[in-house]
Amino acid sequence: MDPSDALKNLLGPVALTATLFPPTSRYAGIDTAVYQPPSGPPIRYLLRRFVPPPELFAQIQEHFVKDRDRLDNIAALYLSDPELFWRIADANRAMRPDELTERPGARLRITLPQGIPAPTPL
């Protein structure tokens, strides 16, 4: 290979995988696909996210819902980030996250992220 071609290849465009979502997003790591309509530009879309079974999450606490509780506030209290409300929804098998706080007295599982085992007692 000619040295100038090698340099062009080295400095040319690099195929990087763009991360569409931050690591704390429920969509982090979900692949995308492209639909090519008969006419017009291609349309990129997010593939389906499958919610893991709650049994795969190690429970660390429980929260008993009080009147006027909101899931984002509960996430901020236990997970230090209101945008992680979806982790509580996943751990409690909620299809509609708002349903988790509709009934005062309901018990919510607060868990670690999937794949992180519960700490062992000393």
**One-letter amino acid for residue 104 of the chain:** P
pTM over 0.85: no
What ranges do the domains of the chain cover? 18-50, 54-111
* Contact assessment for residue 45 and residue 32, using Cβ atoms and an 8 Å cutoff: yes
What's the CA gap between 19 and 49, in Å, rounded?
16
pLDDT, position 15? 47
What CATH fold (topology level) applies to the domain 54-111?
Membrane-bound Lytic Murein Transglycosylase D; Chain A (3.10.350)
CA 118 to chain centre: 20
Chain segment 6-36, per-residue pLDDT in tens? 666 666 655 445 567 888 899 988 999 999 9
Chain segment 48-92, per-residue pLDDT in tens? 999 889 999 999 999 999 999 999 999 999 999 999 999 999 999
Which tokens in the block code for residue 80? 């230090």
CA distances to 1, 3, 102, 109 from 106, rounded to whole Å, are 69, 69, 8, 10
pLDDT, position 111? 96
pLDDT, position 24? 87
